[in-house]
């Protein structure tokens, strides 16, 4: 099978040349990077993050001015204005909506499908994925803990083996730790319809991330991208993977503060968790927008070690495609050599027997 055959289902679902989703990274995945990914044959996804409905409307319209190709929007399910954000997507006829951050409300899924949009959701387990299929989502994304930002406890390779063989009804995209074309091929051969990459696009020239933020990625290796630790089982904070700096260390203090305030009855658990989310949102902006790489959050996946320079989005995508095609070719040639050797051995053995 060639690459086009391997991800044909994903390409058809996205309406793209390549089944490569751009991971939605707050403050990074804006109209500039999203349109660049879509224009180069991939599928860009706007990270709405904490945007208001008005801000999202402006960002979508700005993206449409920069690309005529398909792109999607990522919405956080815990956003207090989720319903209005969905309405903005409907008004702008966004073709694909990614609902992230936990089990999405059935009403949000129904609202997207009602205007003709397709819904993608993240699944951390096989059971969760099956529930989402029953709820009517159109595609799933499996993201392992090698990814940047908020992560779960299980690796991409294990999740892929756990889920891909058992959910065939809808396309599944794989994310987390993917930085080369060879890895893309391996997941496609396991049954994935496509992949999602975030970290790999941070240092795209079209990315508006601050130069110091990009340099931190270029200098880093995989071991620098560490996951935060949950301090108290009563306080289920989703771990965040980022390059270690003062911000990651201050997060431990933030957790202690919030736990203390909950214990003292100053706020409830949900309020405390929202405070933690605000901490990360503000910290991330300081790094991405302001370039404060010591005090801001450097959310990055472990594939950060494969980034060695700034490149155009087109160069990044073509590099991945070249690697994937070369890998498929090498495997094909290896099979031919192995087959020829086996034939020779069989003839030789038969000759001896005669």
Q: Is a pLDDT exceeding 70 seen at residue 236?
A: no
* The predicted structure's pLDDT at residue 269: 76
Q: What is the mean pLDDT of the chain?
A: 92
pTM: 0.91
pLDDT for the residue numbered 16: 98
pLDDT in tens, 130-158: 999 999 999 999 999 999 998 989 999 99
Domain extents in the chain: 3-208+314-329, 221-302
Q: Which tens digits make up the pLDDT trace of 63-91?
A: 999 999 999 999 999 888 999 999 999 99
CA 195, CA 118: separation in Å to the nearest integer? 17
Instruction: Label residue 192 exposed, middle or buried (CB < 10 Å: 0-12, 13-18, 19+).
Output: buried
Q: Which residues pair with 121 in a beta bridge?
A: 99, 140
Q: Which CATH number applies to 3-208+314-329: 3.40.640.10, 3.40.50.300, 3.20.20.70, 3.40.50.2000? A: 3.20.20.70
Joined tokens for residue 111 = 């609202």
Find the range with the poorest average confidence among 39-43, 145-149, 269-273, 287-291.
Answer: 269-273
Q: What is the mean pLDDT of residues 36-65?
A: 97
Question: For 182-221, what is each residue's pLDDT tens digit?
Answer: 999 999 999 999 999 999 999 999 999 999 999 999 999 9
């Amino acid at each position: 099978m060639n690459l086009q055959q391997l991800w044909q289902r994903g390409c058809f679902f996205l309406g793209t040349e390549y089944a490569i989703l751009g991971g939605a990274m707050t403050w990074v995945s804006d109209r500039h990077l999203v349109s660049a990914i879509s224009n180069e044959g991939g599928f860009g996804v706007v990270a709405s993050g904490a945007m208001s409905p008005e801000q999202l409307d402006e960002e979508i319209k700005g993206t449409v001015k920069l690309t005529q190709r398909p792109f999607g929007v990522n919405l956080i399910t815990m956003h207090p204005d989720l319903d209005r954000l969905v309405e903005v997507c409907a008004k702008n006829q966004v073709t694909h909506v990614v609902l992230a951050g936990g089990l999405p409300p059935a009403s949000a899924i129904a609202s997207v499908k009602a205007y003709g949009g397709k819904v993608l959701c993240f699944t951390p387990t096989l059971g969760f994925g099956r529930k989402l299929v029953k709820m009517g989502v159109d595609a799933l994304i499996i993201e392992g803990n090698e990814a940047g930002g908020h992560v779960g406890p299980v690796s991409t390779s294990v999740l892929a083996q756990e889920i891909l063989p058992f959910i065939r009804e809808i396309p599944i995209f794989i994310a987390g730790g993917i930085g080369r074309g060879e890895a893309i091929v391996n997941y496609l051969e396991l049954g994935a319809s496509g992949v999602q990459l975030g970290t790999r696009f941070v240092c795209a020239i079209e990315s508006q991330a601050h130069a110091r933020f990009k340099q931190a990625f270029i200098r880093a290796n995989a071991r620098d991208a560490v996951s935060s630790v949950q301090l108290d089982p009563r306080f289920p904070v989703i771990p965040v993977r980022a390059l270690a700096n003062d911000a990651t260390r201050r997060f431990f203090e933030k957790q202690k503060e919030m736990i203390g305030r909950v214990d003292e009855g100053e706020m409830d658990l949900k309020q405390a968790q929202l405070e933690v989310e605000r901490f990360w949102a503000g910290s991330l902006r300081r790094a991405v927008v302001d370039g404060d790489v010591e005090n801001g959050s450097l959310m990055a996946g472990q594939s950060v070690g494969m980034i060695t320079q700034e490149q155009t989005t087109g160069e990044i995508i073509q590099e991945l495609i070249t690697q994937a095609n070369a890998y498929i070719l090498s495997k094909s040639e290896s099979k031919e050599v192995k087959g020829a050797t086996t034939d020779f051995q069989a003839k030789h053995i038969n000759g001896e027997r005669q």
